[in-house]
Amino acid sequence: MPGFELFGEEERKHVNDVLETGILMRYGFDAARKGIWKADELEKAVIQTFGCQYAHLTSSGTAALTTAFAALGIGVGDEVIMPSFTFVASFEAVLSVGAIPVLVDVDESLTPIPAAVEAAITPRTKCIMPVHMCGSMAYLDELAAICQKHNLLLLEDACQSIGGTYKGKHLGTIGHAGTFSFDFVKTITCGEGGVVMTNDQAIWEKCDGYTDHGHDHKGADRGADLHPFIGYNFRISELHAAVGLAQIQKLPTILAMQRKNNQLLRQHLQQIPEVSFRIVPDPAGDNGAFLSWFLPTAELMQAFVAEMKAQNALAGHFYWFNNNWHYIKKWDHLKTATSLNTIHESQKVALLALSTQDFSVSDAVLSRCVSTAISLTWTEEQIHAKGQQMVEVLKKVLNK
């Protein structure tokens, strides 16, 4: 799964370039930095690798989402439709700009059901935010059509699906804006970091200013920059960008290894007729980071999880249904609207209503699902041993 498994000489070299000059900031200090501009270089590499027109790096994936919302003009009172299954960062970013997360069910694609999305639209809806979870994609054609029909913005949270594609286009480059996270466990990492991608110059310019205290970056002298709007500091550092520059060059290798290992493991599970696999709207575009699969009932999957745990082999297998970070069921802080600072009344009302919302459709999916993380460091022997163990456990659980 994560790029950190391939950390080495290349990352050290790029970081050392920065350490040589000591200029750790991405802006200014033009003479002292001796031509080293790692963040600029990484943005260019993102544009080239993923085929978007503009890219702006941030300090995290969460910051990238927050920045994208601000640049899209989404704020207090606006509703953002998003899935019940995602990492907590997705709703954190919605809340951070004062907007309201509206959660909808997912199906066996592990992404929002288009009909549920359309049914959730109200006059306050501004944006649809699908999350391309676990390396694979949402129903982008259907969601884009809904956006067009209702005049809504499409923001792709592609933080977990770097390198994945949909009908030949990279995930994160298809909506009005899209984001990646480069945190430590993502497909490629900066240590911490993120990026907003867009094909709209005006959106990019807003991201560029918003992440740097509103600086317009138009003059040669940073101190003389104007501030056309209020911004914050969501900047990436040169050290982090340097790591990312080495990692993005490894992306083709990472994707090839992930997909190969994923396929080898899948061949084992395919022997069991009761096992089914995640729906992938464009199978060629799965980045391979996870193998997500289902059993016919929640009881069977819980028995599998219990037996794997008993065999001390559960590491790397994610049973999201009981996971604190990824599914509505355990998001108690969200459902009780527990925030350190006062949140807007419209947000509070919507969050408290989540505890009585019916998520039985999502429950029926997630309670039968496990995502197995694919490691880059597995040998073929290890994959076969893992696959055989899973098959044995499945046979035991299924009484075969």
Ligand X SMILES: *Cc1c(COP(=O)(O)O)cnc(C)c1O
* Binding footprint of ligand X, residue count (CB under 6 A): 14
Q: Which structure tokens are listed for 71?
A: 């640049």
- Does residue 194 interact with ligand X by CB under 6 A? yes
- Which residue, 266, 100, 116, 253, is CA-closest to 188? 253
- Which residue, 355, 368, 238, 377, is CA-closest to 298? 368
Span of 9-17, 49-57, 83-91, 331-339 interacting with ligand X by CB under 6 A: 83-91
Q: Residue 275: helix, strand or coil by DSSP?
A: coil
H runs (alpha helix) in the chain:
9-21, 38-50, 61-71, 89-96, 114-119, 140-150, 201-210, 238-269, 298-310, 332-335, 345-353, 360-366, 380-397
Binding mask 91-130 for ligand X (x = CB under 6 A): ----------------------------------------
**Residues 328 to 347 in contact with ligand X, rule: CB under 6 A:** none
Rank residues 183 and 208 by Cβ distance to ligand X and give the closer one. 183
Residue of 61, 172, 244, 288 interacting with ligand X (CB under 6 A)? 61
Smallest gap from Cβ 86 to ligand X, in A, equals 5
**Residues 144 to 163 in contact with ligand X, rule: CB under 6 A:** 157, 159-160
- Number of CB atoms found within 10 A of residue 288's CB: 23
**What separation in angstroms does the CA of 212 have from each of 42, 289, 373?**
17, 32, 35
Instruction: Name the closest residue to ligand X (Cβ).
Output: 61
Rank residues 89 and 269 by Cβ distance to ligand X and give the closer one. 89
State phi, psi for 58 to the nearest 5 degrees.
-135, 175
- Does residue 181 interact with ligand X by CB under 6 A? yes
- Does residue 62 interact with ligand X by CB under 6 A? yes
Q: Residue 339: helix, strand or coil by DSSP?
A: coil
Span of 42-50, 81-89, 107-115, 195-203 interacting with ligand X by CB under 6 A: 81-89
- Which residue, 211, 264, 267, 229, is CA-closest to 27? 211
Span of 44-52, 54-62, 110-118, 380-388 interacting with ligand X by CB under 6 A: 54-62
Rank residues 178 and 387 by Cβ distance to ligand X and give the closer one. 178
Residue of 54, 85, 87, 319 interacting with ligand X (CB under 6 A)? 87
- Does residue 189 interact with ligand X by CB under 6 A? no
- Does residue 131 interact with ligand X by CB under 6 A? yes
Q: Which structure tokens are listed for 157?
A: 């949270």
Q: Residue 397: helix, strand or coil by DSSP?
A: helix
* Contact set with ligand X (CB under 6 A): 60-62, 86-87, 89-90, 131, 157, 159-160, 181, 183, 194
